[in-house]
Structure 1
Amino acid sequence: MKAVPRREDMDKTYCWAMEDLYKTEKDWEADFQKLTQMEAQITAYRNRLAGSGELLLEALRKQDEMSKLLEQVYVYASQKSHEDMGNAHYQELSSKATVLMMKLEAAGSYFVPELLAVPEEKIEEFLRETKGLQEYRHYLEDIMRQKKHVLSEEMEELLAQAQEVAQGPSDIFTMFNNADLKFGVIRNEKGEEMELTHGRFITFMESQDRRVRKEAFDKMYQAYDGFRNTLAAAYRANVKQEIFFAKARHYSSSLEMALDGSNIPAAVYDRLIETVHENLPLLHRYVRLRKRLLGVEELHMYDLYVPMISEVDMKIPYEEAKEIVASGLKPLGDDYLAVLEEGYHGGWIDVYENQGKRSGAYSWGAYGTHPYVLLNYQDNLNNVFTLAHEMGHALHSWYSDETQPYIYAGYKIFVAEVASTCNESLLIHYLLETTGDPKKRAYLVNYFLEQFRGTLYRQTMFAEFEKITHQKEAEGEVLTPETLCGIYYELNKKYFGADIVVDEAIAMEWARIPHFYTSFYVYQYATGFSAAIAISRKILAGDQEVLKGYRQFLRSGSSLYPIELLKLAGVDMTAKEPVEEALKLFGSLLDEMEEIAG
């Protein structure tokens, strides 16, 4: 067995260049010290923001300067610690940076409430008369937009204290789910006893051995079912606190409050659910196809994750993966490919696994330096898609950082997955166009079908569950374990259709979804996925206007609201079309898979 190398033995060609952020640790230390002095500089503007336009501009620039520096210090320390999580020195740097960040955020917490106390006419006057303040117009207007939901200083202070208590249900669930709950032991394919954990659950559910799948499924939900009253109480308490804050802040519902941060109309949420409902026959067709391909008399809920097409042994070394991704992204233009190449060769990517390295993959970085991408590359097709995905995020950040001032360089979660998924969609199109091998082709179609099922349908079902439960609680109905299980079970029946046995155990699945404690978050996976598919289809159809608009979208950061940003790329998420467009592609992939199945 080949041992995983130590960090110091890695080939530097395949390591990210952290020296592009800080040449030496001494330079990092100097900025860290500089930041510790900034607390007083930020608090110096307290009770003075309404003094004059010049003072407000000065305070905003100081806030940007501090945030930008803090981002650099925090990202460097975190990424160095991710190179080897066992390195105590970098763990310490990371902890120091986190403590400092919390301290500085607390020091600047007066900023927004104080700004909101300034009459809007006065802010408008400042914007008209102060040179340089115009750059902050969208930022200031966004704060003012939410003014009617901000209370008196005394009430705001009280709500801030209550927020800490309101975190209780989420904290309780997290501790229970990650530390206390145990799922017992199951036997793997070889008959060996193995502990069932969160991390291993999906691996077991993908097993070709049906007994393993069923055992993992039953054990997992038995464990949750044993605590159904506790879990229902935690979930209900979380819904209650959301409704409490929504009422306190004069929102019509907890849904409206959750969407308001990104200025998303509630109609976007409702339309997503409505459009997916209209296209449930496609998911039912998928279920029938899965049943046929697996060759089972009865399809059960524990049969949903096992691949319909057996794994194709496609050994793709990293150097080849880079070429494949670049070929797939050609429709985005030469300029995009040039930046992609710069990322490949310019120290952006940390490619291979080493001892202690953080698992998974991400794209991150700090304003003023190129983005960074962490991979743990293995020579397979999934990892080629991961490269395309993470470079989608990285190039989105690169274009935004290049074009926008610091205040607008970041982007909201609502649009975060668009660039990454758009890349994956273009890549799969290219691979399908260039793959002659029927087995590989079937594997690719299967891969994409699974993304639709897991992202568009599943996350929308989650979103619908949240909407129903929050509504019921708001109307005074008690969310008992029976109520929650009943709602969830019926949704599964509705979504998956008549060709699957909806096992009773699935009724407890709501109890293991951590995202439900960040209410109305998951729908953004489905909307982002739909937007990306719609954009990629238009680009592939040769729509130059959409391509031009998409490039503008990549450059715009958060200088516009998410809905307006996507309109630049020819996608209106307040309408049904983007979701319909995405599901049309799901339908044509189903056609192909049915043909393959014969």
Structure 2
Amino acid sequence: MVKSLPARSAVPVEETWDLSSLISSSPDFNQQLEDLEQQAEAINEKFQGTIIDTESITQVLTAYMRFMEKMVLLSTHANLTASTDQTNDEAQLQASKFGATAAKIGSQLSFITSELLALPTETLEQAMEESTEFRVFLKKLLRKKPYQLHPEAEKSLAAYSSTFSAPYGLYNTTKMSDIDFEDFEVNGQKYPLSYGSFEGDWEAETNTELRRAAFDAFSKKLKEYQQTTAKTYDMQLQTEKTTADLRGYDSIFDYLLFNQEVDRTLYDRQIDLITTELAPHMRKYAKLLQKVHGLDRMTFADLKISLDPSYEPEITVAESKQYIDDALSIMGPDYLEMVDRSYSERWIDFAQNKGKSTGAFCSSPYGDHPYILISWTGRMNEVFVLAHELGHAGHFYHAHQEQNIFNGRPSLYFIEAPSTMNEMLVANHLLKNSADPKFKRWVISSIVARTYYHNFVTHLLEAAYQRKVYERIDAGQSVNAGILNSIKRGVLEDFWGDTVEINDGAELTWMRQPHYYMGLYPYTYSAGLTISTQVSKRILKEGQPAVDEWLEVLKAGGTKNPVELAQMAGVDITSEQPLRDTIAYIGELIDELVNLTEEIEAD
């Protein structure tokens, strides 16, 4: 039964992450922040107006690189501390203080980019030839030359950076601090409700009456905050539109896709093909859920239930490690050592507590190890969630060993490939080790419900909704709660057809997702999973040679664009074939679920 969440202070320390390698104490944080300000001033005084040739380019970039290595550790500490408890005033004030200082620093150091881009292209190209360390950084910088503003304008924009990121902070404050869910009642008994308990437990609750009542109560409370949340989101959208226009991009899409290093065709293809061609497969899956559970009707509130709840074993944190070790052993001893350290050195925050950010994420600061946030409920499917986040950790763990801070992070388009790859490896390992039909059905349904539903359906429908929103914004319009609800409901109805009843409250799903404050992020989940599905098939078929190639991809970090990284792994994403193959594979998995269910029910 779902319990009320404890305060952060009441959580056992062994369930929390250890942030001491980032920073040791709050006074130390303030001192380090002050030191950073002074170092930024020193860089400004020493280098502003001096960047004139290849030698001075190397000198200023070396100083800037060392500075950023220090700054990212402090930034990570501020963000991670705030993410574990949105009700902690001290942590929130610390994060705000860092944001304000970072904006001031960004303004002081904006001259670096401005002066570099003011140089003749030939000088920058010569610097790229002479310095392998900064070659990729300068190559990416050159792409921005057509969109660079006057140095004073760049300085002003940088000074406002914390203001521009304010909508995301406001969204989190509304979501995690202001919204207070009351208990909901079913048949005279009260049950506790929170963001974490709804998304971690009630959505998958097997008792239909409880599950639907939780959905209704959750939606009713969300609705009270829809106008504020919509206004916050519109602030984000208008800021992005203004920036795109100021910099001279043809559209807001071109602006948001620029740093992803992919063009609009790859973005649109991902949304259009999945929306049309995956829908029939997922409708078949929804009908299977309805049949197995004997539901009177299939509603949006029923889509997250397990196909076989009786085969959803409880699992402890300690037990999860053995599953993950066994599944990821194919990646080699260095990779497994990282996994072992993540448990033994407390890189992972497992605790459930009030005010903690929902979902799961991995933060990988350069110069330190990765950190993973997850709220562990003990469900077996969380092995997949943890493996996913360890995929991000393994990616940056390898990339940061090989690359400098400028080259470590690849395009957002590619970022979800290593994470979803680990989910596929877990699934393949589990399938290989049992012939029992019930266990096979549980594993395959976990792949469909967790890996593919979450990444190919949930995030893809977010992307389809997001594209419609941005089309409005690009046309000079704005949005409010009514418009957002209408767009979201339309996207859901188009995908699910008459198979799933889009009940009241489903249209408010847009309020739950922080990804909308991160540009065109949601569609990249399916893009990454398309790549990892194809590579995991190669690993199953070819073994070690395919693994070795994948490890080289991880080490490459951001030195190549998404098309080149996928090519390194043997996947051609310039064609639609990998996506079509992946959609067909999902269809095969669902067909196998239908067959296994018939086999089990016939016994």
Q: Distance in 2 between matches of 1:505 and 1:15?
A: 34
Matched to 1:268, the amino acid is L
C-alpha displacement at 1:30, in angstroms?
9.1
Which SS does the other structure have where 1:399 is aligned?
A: helix
Contact 2:485 2:508 in 1 (8 A): yes
- Equivalence for 2:547: 547
Q: Distance in 1 between matches of 2:52 and 2:500?
A: 66
Deviations 1:528-558 (A, max 9, x none): 2222222212211216654333111110111
Change (3 A) 1:84 1:448: same
Alpha-carbon shift at residue 442 of structure 1 (Å): 2.6
Q: What is the identity, as a one-letter code, of the residue corresponding to 2:331? A: L
Provide the residue aligned with 1:445 in structure 2: 444
The amino acid across from 2:404 in the alignment is: P
1:201 aligns with 2:202: no
CA deviations on 1:320-363 (whole Å, 9 max, x unpaired) are 53333222123334554455456666x36457659999787654
Q: Does the 8 Å contact 2:103/2:159 carry over to 1? A: no
Structure 1, residues 388-447: CA drift from partner, whole Å, max 9, x if none? 333322222221122113321234433332222211211111112213444333322222
- C-alpha offsets along residues 244-285 of structure 1, whole Å, 9 cap, x if unaligned? 332222222111111101212111111101220222211111
Counterpart for residue 488 of structure 2: 488
2:362–2:372 contact (8 Å) kept in structure 1: yes
Distance 2:95 2:167 in 1: 28
Structure 2 spans left out of the alignment, 5+ residues: 599-603
Seen in structure 2, the aligned counterparts of structure 1 residues 141 and 199 have a Cα distance that, compared at 3 Å, is: same
Q: SS of 1:410's equivalent?
A: coil
CA distance, structure 2, for counterparts of residue 344 and residue 583 of structure 1: 35
1:482-522: CA deviation from partner (whole Å, max 9, x where unpaired) = 65444333321221132222335433433554433444221
Deviations 1:148-174 (A, max 9, x none): 122223544565577777667666655
User: Does residue 591 of structure 1 match 2:588?
Assistant: no
The DSSP-based 3-state class of the residue aligned with 1:596 is: helix
CA–CA distance in 2 between the matches of 1:195 and 1:376? 17
Partner of 1:143: 141
Which stretch shows the higher mean deviation, 426-435 or 508-517?
A: 508-517
Change (3 A) 1:49 1:134: farther
Query: What corresponds to 2:266 in structure 1?
Result: 268
Maintained 8 Å contact 1:78/1:94: yes
Secondary structure of the structure 1 residue equivalent to 2:571: coil
- More displaced, 199-208 or 32-41? 32-41
Q: Relative to 1, partners in 2 of residues 1:118 and 1:82: Cα closer, same or farther, differing over 3 Å?
A: same
State the secondary structure of the residue aligned to 1:108.
helix
Shift in Å at residue 136 of structure 1?
A: 0.8
Match of 1:69 in 2: 70
Shift of 1:57: 0.9
Whether the 8 Å contact between 2:203 and 2:305 is mirrored in structure 1 is yes
CA contact under 8 A between 2:219 and 2:505: conserved in structure 1?
A: yes
Q: Which residue of 2 aligns with 1:109?
A: 110
Cα–Cα, structure 1 residues 407 and 271, in superposed 2: closer, same or farther, change >3 Å?
same
Q: Alpha carbons of 1:303 and 1:382: their partners in 2 closer, same or farther (altered >3 Å)?
A: closer
Deviates more, 1:99-108 or 1:539-548: 99-108
Identity, % of aligned positions? 23
For residue 498 of structure 1, give the secondary structure of its aligned residue in structure 2: coil
Q: Is the alpha carbon distance of 1:326 and 1:198 closer, same or farther for their aligned partners in structure 2, counting shifts above 3 Å?
A: closer
Residue from 189, 193, 205 that aligns with 1:192: 189
SS at match of 1:406: coil
Distance 1:519 1:73, change over 3 A: closer
Structure 1 residues 320 and 244, CA gap change in structure 2 (3 angstroms): closer
Aligned residues of 1:268 and 1:575 also touching (Cα < 8 A) = no
In the other structure, the counterpart of 1:326 is: 325
Between 1:374-383 and 1:389-398, the stretch displaced more is 374-383
What secondary structure sits across from 1:531 in the alignment? Answer: helix
Question: Following TM superposition, by how much is the alpha carbon of 1:58 offset from its aligned partner in structure 2, in angstroms?
Answer: 1.0
| Deviation (angstroms), 1:565 | 1.9
Structure 1 residue 479 displacement after superposition: 5.2
Matching residue of 2:601: none
Distance across 1 between alignment mates of 2:218 and 2:403: 47
Name 1:528's counterpart in structure 2. 528
- How high is the TM-score relative to the length of structure 2? 0.82
Q: Is the 8 A contact 2:311 2:438 kept in 1?
A: yes
Q: Work out whether residues 271 and 575 of structure 1, in 8 Å CA contact, stay in contact via their aligned partners in 2.
A: no
- Which of the two has higher C-alpha Rg? 1
Q: Residues of 1 paired with 2:96 and 2:143: CA distance?
A: 36
Distance 2:41 2:76 in 1: 23
Range moving further from structure 2, 22-31 or 494-503: 22-31
- Structure 2 Cα separation of the partners of residues 76 and 225 of structure 1: 33
Shift of 1:116: 2.0
Q: CA deviation at 1:182?
A: 5.9
1:567 corresponds in structure 2 to: 567
| Alignment match, 2:416 | 417
Secondary structure, aligned partner of 2:110: coil
**1:314 & 1:423 partners in 2: Cα distance?**
20
Query: CA separation in 2, counterparts of 1:402 and 1:522?
Result: 28
Asked if structure 1 preserves the Cα contact closer than 8 Å seen for 2:176 and 2:356, the reply is no
SS at match of 1:408: coil
Distance 1:517 1:479 in 2: 15
How far does residue 194 in structure 1 lie from its aligned partner after superposition?
4.5
161-170 or 291-300: bigger deviation: 161-170
Offset at residue 287 of structure 1 (A):
1.5
In structure 2, the partner of 1:51 is 52
- Call closer, same or farther: CA 1:372–1:487 in 2, change over 3 Å: closer
The answer on 1:389 being equivalent to 2:388 is: yes
Q: 1:185 to 1:317 in 2, by over 3 A?
A: closer
Structure 1 residues 285 and 60: CA distance shift in structure 2, 3 A: same
Structure 1 SS opposite 2:184: strand
Q: Which consecutive unaligned segments of at least 5 residues does structure 1 have?
A: none
- Native 8 Å contact 2:416 2:525 kept in 1: yes
Q: Is the 8 A contact 1:400 1:557 kept in 2?
A: yes
Change (3 A) 1:141 1:578: same
Q: Distance in 1 between matches of 2:481 and 2:16?
A: 50
> Hey, what does 2:210 align to over in structure 1?
212
- Alignment RMSD, CA only? 4.2
Q: Measured at CA, do residues 233 and 369 of structure 1 come closer, stay the same or move farther in structure 2, by a change above 3 Å?
A: closer
- Which has the higher mean CA deviation after the structures are superposed, 61-70 or 498-507? 498-507
What is the CA distance between 1:205 and its match in structure 2? 2.9
Distance 2:177 2:12 in 1: 35
Judged with a 3 Å threshold, the aligned counterparts in structure 2 of structure 1 residues 121 and 371 are, in CA distance, closer, same or farther, namely: same
Structure 2 counterpart of 1:51, which letter?
A: I
Match of 2:150 among 141, 152, 162: 152
Deviates more, 1:588-597 or 1:365-374: 365-374
Q: What is the distance in 1 between the residues matched to 2:197 and 2:16?
A: 29
SS of residue in 2 equivalent to 1:426: helix
The residue type paired with residue 62 of structure 2 is R
- What pairs up with 1:141-540 in 2 under 5 angstroms? 141-156=139-154, 176-178=174-176, 185-188=183-186, 191-194=188-191, 196-202=193-199, 203-223=201-221, 235-236=233-234, 238-276=236-274, 277-312=276-311, 314-318=313-317, 320-333=319-332, 336-337=335-336, 340=339, 347=345, 349=347, 353=351, 362-373=361-372, 381-451=380-450, 452-475=452-475, 483-540=483-540
Count, aligned residues: 590
